[in-house]
Amino acid sequence: MSVSTLLGNALATSPEPSPSLPTGNIARFSQVNLDALDLAALLCSRVCHDLISPTGAIVNGLEVLEEKESDEETKTFALELIKKSAKTASARLQFCRLAFGAAGSSAAQIDLGDAQGMARGCLDEKTKVDWRLPRALLPKNRVKLLLNMLIIAAQTIPRGGLLTVDPIGEGDGMGFRITAAGLNARIPQALTGLLDGRPESGTVDAHAIQPFYTGLLAKACGMQVSLAAEGASIIVAAR
CA pair distance 164, 179, nearest whole angstrom: 5
| Residue 182 clears pLDDT 80, i.e. is over it | yes
User: What does pTM read for this prediction?
Assistant: 0.84
Confidence of residue 172 (pLDDT cuts 50, 70, 90): confident
Task: For residue 167, give the H/E element and its range.
Answer: strand 161-168
- Closest C-alpha among 175, 166, 94, 170 to residue 136: 170
pLDDT tens, position by position, 54-87: 999 999 999 999 998 889 999 999 999 999 999 9
CA atoms lying within 13 Å on the CB side of residue 65: 14
Average pLDDT over the chain, rounded to whole?
87
CA pair distance 89, 164, nearest whole angstrom: 25
pLDDT tens, position by position, 183-196: 999 999 999 999 99
Amino acid 18: pLDDT = 38
